[in-house]
Amino acid sequence: MNTVIRNARLVQDGRITCCDLFIQDGKVSNLLPPGKGWAAEEEIDASGLYLSHGFIDIHVHGGGGHDFMDGTREAWDGVRRLHLRHGTTGIVATTLAATMEEMLGAARMYNACRDQLGDGARLLGLHMEGPYLAPAQSGAQDPAYIRGPVPEEYEELIELCPGILRWTVAPELPGALAMGDYLQNHGVLGSIGHSDAVYAQVKEAMGHGFTHVTHLYSAMSTVTRQGGFRRGGIVESAYVLPELTSEVIADGCHLPPELLQMAYRFIGPDRLALVTDAMRAAGQREGESILGSLSKGQRVIVEDGVAKMPDRKAFAGSICTTDRLARTMMRLGGATLADTVKMLTETPARIMGLDKVTGRVASGRAADLILFDEDINICMVLTDGKVRWENEAYRDRRKNERGKV
């Protein structure tokens, strides 16, 4: 089927451009100035809405009452459906510290679900977050499952699941640098997180493939003192070392406005991605929930727009969606619309090594697209050129307009 989206405002390459977009066989065919008169079997009048590539979330655990660690097709499909309705067309499914059995289950489920699309976000890959983390920086990860790197474990997982694109590790742990070499040799991004590494250790880890920082500021080291001398930590490294990329949970809870503004200004949209780090309660009501799998997860409390540990002394994960990330980064972080979209499309795609196939609206690429308004309310989501979800008000407006023709 041929489709044309007319009168859209494309957000890409640091600017906003009025255009008509033509889709052929699920792929972007042409971008032309509006009003060229090209006909198509299906026409969508954007009526001045913004158009961009669908948002890409490279760190997400769950949503819609489901978690990827649940290990069922129903759960994986449920997470993908929830996030697609909020503008996410590409997901890197994320695990957490768990038994080897559960990690193998997640890897097998990714293999089983990776080519599914339907009315859910596209699975781009798998992110293993842990279990090789610093115990003192466990955050909401269950300390019972945290351990040092075990070559037999990570080698078996990577052999089983070529879709593993990223692994979060504390690089100061014994055996972590050797693991980094193994990851690098197998095309897996080493990511620094849940770690007490100091600046010198971060620099050394970068030489072993650890070139990304997992949820900046959360569960990581900052300035410490040893014998009276101050040493920078991971936070400072993210700002100082230009070869490092980072991500932030821009939900308005994990980081205050001043830290979002700092990250945006001094790391910048080319090295900074926005992530939800969402758990199963994303899109759900406040109350009790479970972080991790239904069978082995931890009880958490959802209130004030975030998940908290039962004692309310620490956060237990985000309940955010990517449209909320965009709104927050613009309102609190001071980011422009163009830069915000970049941090949710091109930059995460490049960080994950997927920029040759996704993250941009370009001829020949899959038409994974979203239409949204000034307040980042998602009006329509397409994957492979097919409308997968429409905001009810926008759908009704389109029906009325068609009825008048």
Q: All domains of the chain, ordered by start, with CATH?
A: 2-52+362-404 (2.30.40.10), 55-351 (3.20.20.140)
State the pLDDT at residue 404.
Answer: 60
β-strand pairing of 245-249 with 210-213: parallel
Q: Which residues contact 228 (CB under 8 A, 6 or more apart)?
A: none
Which residue, 271, 319, 292, 341, is CA-closest to 56? 341
State the pLDDT at residue 116.
Answer: 86
Taking residue 155's Cβ as centre, other Cβ atoms within 10 Å add up to 13
Alpha-carbon distances, residue 312 vs 11, 96, 290, 303 (angstroms): 39, 21, 15, 10
Residue 88's DSSP bridge partners are: 55
State the pLDDT at residue 111.
Answer: 97
**pTM for the full model?**
0.96
Q: How many residues does the chain have?
A: 405
* Sign for the pseudo-dihedral over CA of 104, 189, 237, 232: positive
Contact (Cβ atoms closer than 8 angstroms) between residue 194 and residue 206 = no
What are the counts of helices (DSSP H) followed by strands (DSSP E) for the chain? Answer: 11, 24
Residue ranges of E strands in 71-197: 88-94, 122-129, 164-169, 189-192
Which residues of the chain are modeled with pLDDT < 70? 37, 402-405
Which residue, 127, 75, 73, 54, is CA-closest to 96? 127
Which residue, 363, 375, 267, 346, is CA-closest to 52? 346
Written as six digits, the tokens of 252 are 């308005």
Peptide bond into 242 cis (omega under 30): no
Give tens-digit pLDDT for 17-52: 999 999 999 999 999 888 876 788 899 999 999 999
Which residue, 399, 360, 341, 386, is CA-closest to 23? 386
Packing angle of the helix pair 73-84, 100-113 (nearest 10 deg)? 60
Which residue, 322, 303, 364, 378, is CA-closest to 46? 378
Q: How far apart are CA 383 and CA 368, in angstroms?
A: 4
